[in-house]
Amino acid sequence: MIKRNLLVMGLAVLLSACGFQLRGTGTTELAIKELDLSARNAYGDTVVLMRQVLESSGVKVYTGAPYKLVLTNEQESQRTLSYVGGNKSAEYELTNVLNYEIVGHNSLSLLDDKLQVQKVYMHDGNNLTGSDLEAEQARKEMRRDLVQRMMLRLQQLSLTQLDQLQQTADARAKAEADALDAAQKAEANTPRQSPLQLQNQ
């Protein structure tokens, strides 16, 4: 039994030395070591928490970093799930949706996606203060969940993937620029008839 435990520990040390980490071990190691961060609400709770978690995970967050995480939009909605006790109490479901974008070199968008979290809380008509506190606590937990999920998304991005996304974005931008240039040249080379010439035809 002792030998078996030592073997397992030895393998764990060997794998961790190779950079291998088990899923769900709580590690927040990111391939991205430098990141710019911005949001529509620059001082909002979500972006402030996101910055704190990134920095505590060893990411240098500053303006002008090679990659930029943009929290483009955050929307919260609420719906009633059920009423209890003569409409004095109600069960509510909160939904928070966070749209984000990762921007690379030349301000080109590399990817954009969204995250969504939901939470249910009880509103007690006989205890408004307690219900308000519960709702606020639910919102705080949802923000933490959003940031945690965002960190998981970032963890899944390798530098190789980011390079490939950058190459794709560069190629797309060049194709669009070439198409625009060709269209402008074609328009410039097209002879234009004056209104007088058109009347004479």
The model's pLDDT over 174-200, given as tens digits with 9 standing for 90+, comes to 998 888 888 888 888 777 665 555 555
Q: pLDDT tens digits, residue range 147-181?
A: 999 999 999 999 999 999 999 999 998 998 888 88
pTM of the complete model = 0.71
Check whether 25 has a pLDDT greater than 50. Answer: no
Q: Kindly indicate the confidence band of residue 15, based on its pLDDT and cuts at 50, 70 and 90.
A: very low
The helix/strand count (H/E) of the chain reads as: 5, 5
Task: Read off the DSSP letter of residue 42.
Answer: T
What backbone phi and psi angles, to 5 degrees, belong to 115? -120, 150
**How many angstroms separate the Cα of 97 from the Cα of each of 145, 147, 149, 179?**
11, 12, 12, 36
Q: Give the span between the Cα atoms of 87 and 41, in whole angstroms.
A: 36
68-84 and 89-103 as β-strands: parallel, antiparallel, unpaired? antiparallel
Strands 89-103 and 109-124: antiparallel
User: Which residues fall within 8 angstroms of residue 155, CB to CB, at 6 or more apart?
Assistant: 28, 29, 30
Triad 126, 129, 130: Cα angle to 5°: 80
Cα(9)–Cα(13) distance, integer angstroms: 6
Q: Is the dihedral of CA 75, 76, 80, 81 positive or negative?
A: positive
171 vs 189: CA distance, rounded Å: 27
Q: What are phi and psi of 65, to 5 degrees?
A: -65, 160
Q: Which helix (H) or strand (E) holds 51?
A: helix 45-56
Give the mean pLDDT of 37-42. Answer: 90
